[in-house]
Amino acid sequence: MTTKQIKTTAVENKLIGLADIVITAAERSKDPTIAIPIRALSNVAFNERKGLIEMGNKKQARSFFNVGMAKKFMQTVLVADALFELQRADLTTSLREIYYRTKHTIQDSHENTFDTQDESDPVIEDLEVSLGALREELHVRAENSGSIVGPVVFGDDGDRVDCARLGKGGYSVPSIVEPEYLEVRRCTADFLLLVEKGTQWNRLSEDKFWRRYNCVLLTGNGQPPRGVRRLARRLHEEYKLPVYVLVDNDPWGYYIYSVIKQGSINLAFESQRMAIPKAKFMGLSSADPERYGLPRNVGIKLNEKDIARAKELMNYQWFQKPAWQVEIKRMLTSGLKYELDALANKDFQYLTKKYLPRKLKEKDWLD
Amino acid sequence: MNKKNALTQPAPSASPRKTVPEPVAPKKVAARPVQQVTAVEMGARQREISVSEFFTKNRHLLGFDNPRKALLTCVKEAVDNALDACEEAGILPDVMVRLEVVPTGGTTPSPSQATRFRITVMDNGPGIVRQQIPRIFAKLLYGSKFHRLRMSRGQQGIGISAAGMYGQLTTGKPVKIISRTGPKAVAHFFEVQIDTKKNEPLVHENKQIEWNQPQGTQVTLEVEGKYQKGRASVDEWLEQTSIANPHVRLIYQTPEGETNEYPRTYHELPPAPREIKPHPYGIEFGMLLKMLQDTKSHSLSGFLSSDFCRVSPQLADEICKTAMVSPTMKPRDLKSHAAETLYQTIQNTKIMAPPTNCISPIGEKAILSGLYKQIKGEFYTAVSRPPAVYRGNPFIIEAGLAYGNRPENQTKPKQLAMPKAEGEGEDEDSELARVIRYANRVPLLYQQSACSMFKAVLSTSWKNYGVTQSRGALPGGPMVIFVHMASVWVPFTSESKEAIADYDEIQKEITLALRECGRRLGLFLRRRERAASEYRRRNIFELYIEEVVEACNRLKGGKLLKEKLKAQLRKIATSRTGGMKTDQALGKTGTGPEGLPHSIIVTSEGVEGEVELASQVEADAAATVPPVDADLLGDEKLSVGATKSRAKKAHLRADKTPQSKAAQMGLFAEKGSSGKKPIRTRTQPEKPNKPKRPANAAAPRRKK
């Protein structure tokens, strides 16, 4: 707890630093400017040795006296003010609450500081990167949108949470899973399976797949939120669990895998603590339909967006491994994508009873 | 029917009769079934149908489909007649329209509930000679306009008598007419009805009376109708009439007892249109045959050159030669086959386009003045296209445009400075433009979407001119688009004259005119945008400085010297945005209407462009008309003689427009500067060859 206290003050100082930028610039008759690292493909690099996406050094200047940026600048200062308030009161909050807290109509006008949450969210991310503070450190939590089940025991606010005794619903992964918030007391699993879709996670959970294969089942309901990714990383790191990823066979599924493995472009600064470079791609592979005899009619035609996205992926540095190029090319050639749910075409429990056992037995996965 | 049956062999499916193998003689067929009638019997029933009878049954053809439209049609016909008469006689029209509710069943219902109305239309025209009055008002297809090719509102001579007949049918009341041909003549009073069988007038009453008007005609009709404001109402029609006819002074007494006056703002009669002969390209074969019969010429070549325009004797001979008919033969002797060859030959011969001086366009200035008078906008422009020809009929397309917020809308945002919720204020600009259409100066209110004018507006890409437009929709924004077609023969899609047919030539001309209007609007909008963006730049900084300083203060734990920081930041803001120059740039929205011919721009500080025209309108609307010479072009001297106002007129246009416009701009300015008004200096060097703008020409007058 003491460490946390120290950290918080450090964050507070960083936030106050923003005000200082404005004040010093004003005294010198300069344009107040904040340097914000760019969060785009142009400013990330793939570190092959570490297997991570890392953020580069490019920064953009956000100046106050620039017509295009003035409002953004004002918003940044307002959000910083709200975050500072959180620090002082030692509260955590959601992105949406920050939006409401900072929204008001500017005096003598009918202009709002923020019109929609879409304006405030990126500002918070900007502050995360430019201050080098994690979202948790800023006391901002995302929504809980992940579930975990399996032989793992957590300590959460002093409560003992045994994920093997939580029925088929499992434990809802909090958005902040740092050791000071969530303690992993025990884990006896052999591996961790991260499933893209909640529906397939439900299937596996209902069939008690985790008990049979002694694994932890984790889902993020689509693109996994930070909490889920961070928890997977902790289990991987602290209990040496191999991580397998089960996603749909489409470009978005591939990308979800790559985010888990190497980190995302937008949150490249978080890769260090989120990415799991040793994660494996379990499926659905574009080779699976043939191998598992999925009929063509359960496929879905790739649309233009899918194709464009797939081609984009092929150009990413971290998809350059020959096996991956083959994998994506195979999907493009077939012109079809397959959902995990399509496995139900063969049998409702095909995923639990045939597909995964065979995959694990054959060690049929991509790196 | 019979004949057909005889020709086509027994139709197995259609005939209920026994199928007889041999061809059946017509008479037999007719005789056999019980219900069939002999030709003789049928012949006994066949008789002439009087036009009046025809129209009593088909009144929708003339625009009397429903009570509401009927009321409008009656007003329209009477006003059209009045205006045509005045203009032909060279008199600036003063027209009074009065609608009164007629009590039914002893009580007087409210105007919206009433079913009977008395329409009175009075003009200061030349009057009508006594003998003609009954026939003009109570005989269908009687008039002066049908037999000539000349631009006028009415075309057929049905209108007013049909209106009278409609009244007669629905209320049984005769048409009352008072007419006086001059101060020295006596006024005659008539009550006439129409004999619907014979299409002849029945005079009920005819006497000489005392009339306080020195000259003119007054018609009173009593009709069944429905009075409802809004789209396609009498009110809208009169308003639009006044836009396209700024030379008319129109007084309208509504059934509610209000008096609306549309003042005269253009003191010049439109040039009288000239009558022309038909152009050979414009006639159909049947018409040609008829003309061949009716002509007074003795030779074919003489017929061609004298009964048509643009056919010289040489050309006539040439046509005859090509058609292999003798130029000297009698036109009456030209029989069907040869006539057809002649017709084809004429169509294939190159003939000069018809003369165009027969058309009298409204004119750019008059359109501007009409729009400026009736529509409260910020930008006005007008375009008259050069004459063009469709099917041998010359025509002119004119387009106009008024853009900007109307005063009602302008005053609103001032109170609206309340916080906006998410999603609010995004759909505010969903208002679509309004298209007002005219044919020979008469507003067209019905069947908008069938009209080629409307289609042309839709197919113009307004996005190019900085106006929003959804696919296949009207452009968005506070805008009125004016389109006028002047022609000796306007091709309506139906007899009730509601929509203009889609001729390529017409469509093209309309599109060209609209594009020109659009270009000018785009220029105006861009210029305004430029000026406003400078404005905004300064403003947003001033707005945001407050916010940033407050936030910094909180971050610093409230220990900040706020005022000092604000002052420092403001100083930077001023130096970064060009300081005083910005204010100067804002003082004027750009530099006069270069590249914007025939346009009026209204800004917070006055009017630009056709200033004199605008001020003329203002003056007319607000006060007694100062004597202004007709030449409004480029003359810098201005008759500012806005003398004492007649109170009644003044409240009409009132001074809403400019002040609220100023208010709007003011609002803009006040936003951040908290009452600090930008300094306005007029030091910018102006281009030399531009007519000098009288400083604040119209502004002082508006202050009333």
Domain ranges of chain B: 2-45, 54-228, 280-348, 364-416+429-526, 531-702
B543 neighbourhood in chain A, CB within 8 Å: 106-109, 111
A102 neighbourhood in chain B, CB within 8 Å: none
Identify from A81, A84, A104 which residue to disrupt to test chain B contact, counting B C-beta atoms within 10 A and taking the largest count. A81
CA B424 to chain A, closest CA, distance in angstroms equals 9
Residue of A nearest to B553 (CA): A19
Q: Domain residues of chain A, as ranges?
A: 2-31+66-141, 147-362
Contact A109 B543 (CB under 8 A): yes
Quick one: tokens of B170?
A: 């629905």
Q: Which residues of B touch A (CB under 8 A)?
A: 413, 416-420, 422, 425, 533, 536-537, 540-541, 543-544, 546-548, 551-552, 554-556, 560, 565, 568-569, 571-573, 575-577, 670-672, 674
Q: What would be the CATH architecture of the domain defined by B280-348?
A: Orthogonal Bundle (1.10)
Contact B543 A73 (CB under 8 A): no
List Cβ neighbours of B362 (8 Å cut-off, separation of 6 or more). Answer: B244, B245, B270, B370, B384, B398, B441, B484, B486
Contact A106 B422 (CB under 8 A): no
**CATH number 3.30.360.10 is the correct assignment for the domain at B54-228:** no
CA A139 to chain B, closest CA, distance in angstroms equals 16
Q: What would be the CATH architecture of the domain defined by A147-362?
A: 3-Layer(aba) Sandwich (3.40)
What pLDDT, on the 0 to 100 scale, is given for residue B155? 66
**pLDDT per residue as tens digits for the range A310-349:** 999 999 888 999 999 999 999 999 999 999 999 998 889 8
CA A294 to chain B, closest CA, distance in angstroms equals 44
B568 neighbourhood in chain A, CB within 8 Å: 26-27, 29
List Cβ neighbours of B159 (8 Å cut-off, separation of 6 or more). Answer: B62, B76, B77, B80, B81
A113: nearest CB among B416, B533, B547: B547
B540: nearest CB among A32, A70, A108: A70
Is A100 marked active-site? yes
Q: Domain B364-416+429-526 falls in which CATH fold? A: Ribosomal Protein S5; domain 2 (3.30.230)
**pLDDT per residue as tens digits for the range A75-114:** 999 999 999 998 888 888 888 899 999 988 887 676 788 8
From the list A100, A181, A239, A350, the catalytic residue is A100
Distance CA(B457)–CA(B448), nearest Å, equals 11
Query: Any idea of the CA torsion for B183, B185, B190, B195, to the nearest 10 degrees?
Result: -120
Contact A29 B575 (CB under 8 A): yes
Contact A105 B419 (CB under 8 A): yes
Q: Which long-range contacts (CB under 8 A, 24 or more apart) does B54-59 make?
A: B55/B140, B55/B158, B55/B162, B55/B165, B56/B165, B56/B169, B56/B196, B59/B162, B59/B166, B59/B169
B416 neighbourhood in chain A, CB within 8 Å: 110
Distance CA(B560)–CA(A23), nearest Å, equals 9
Contact B544 A106 (CB under 8 A): yes
Name the stretches of chain B with pLDDT < 70: 1-35, 52, 141, 143-149, 155-157, 406-430, 531-539, 577-598, 602-614, 616-704
Q: Domain A2-31+66-141 falls in which CATH fold? A: Arc Repressor Mutant, subunit A (1.10.10)
Length of chain B: 704
Contact A84 B555 (CB under 8 A): yes
What pLDDT, on the 0 to 100 scale, is given for residue B698? 38
A77: nearest CB among B419, B422, B552: B552
The answer to whether the beta carbons of residues A193 and A360 sit under 8 Å apart is no
Distance CA(A36)–CA(A52), nearest Å, equals 21
Query: What percent of chain A shows pLDDT beyond 90?
Result: 41
Edge-to-edge order in the sheet of strand B259-262: B200-209, B187-195, B175-180, B216-224, B116-123, B94-101, B249-253, B259-262
Distance CA(A126)–CA(A40), nearest Å, equals 12
Query: Within 13 Å and on the Cβ side, how many CA atoms surround B305?
Result: 15
Quick one: tokens of A170?
A: 């499992």
Contact A65 B576 (CB under 8 A): yes
Instruction: Assess whether pLDDT exceeds 90 at residue A367.
Output: no
A16: nearest CB among B419, B544, B555: B555
A29 neighbourhood in chain B, CB within 8 Å: 568, 571-572, 575
Task: From B219, B164, B166, select the one nearest B188 (Cα to Cα).
Answer: B219
Contact B554 A85 (CB under 8 A): yes
Distance CA(B518)–CA(B481), nearest Å, equals 10
Residue of B nearest to A85 (CA): B555
Distance CA(B179)–CA(B126), nearest Å, equals 9
Contact B425 A113 (CB under 8 A): no
A81: nearest CB among B422, B546, B551: B551
A44: enclosing H helix or E strand: strand A44-47
CA B536 to chain A, closest CA, distance in angstroms equals 9
Query: What percent of chain A shows pLDDT beyond 70?
Result: 97
Q: How does the average pLDDT of chain A come out, rounded? A: 88
CA distances from B254 to A61, B118, B228 (A): 66, 11, 11
B422: nearest CB among A74, A105, A115: A115
| Cis status, amide bond into B238, omega within 30 of 0 | no
Residue A2 pLDDT level (bands cut at 50, 70, 90)? very low
Distance CA(B314)–CA(B311), nearest Å, equals 8
CA A137 to chain B, closest CA, distance in angstroms equals 17
A109 neighbourhood in chain B, CB within 8 Å: 417, 543, 671-672
The answer to whether the beta carbons of residues B513 and B399 sit under 8 Å apart is yes
B541: nearest CB among A65, A77, A84: A65
CA distances from A332 to A284, A320, A338, B650 (A): 15, 16, 12, 75
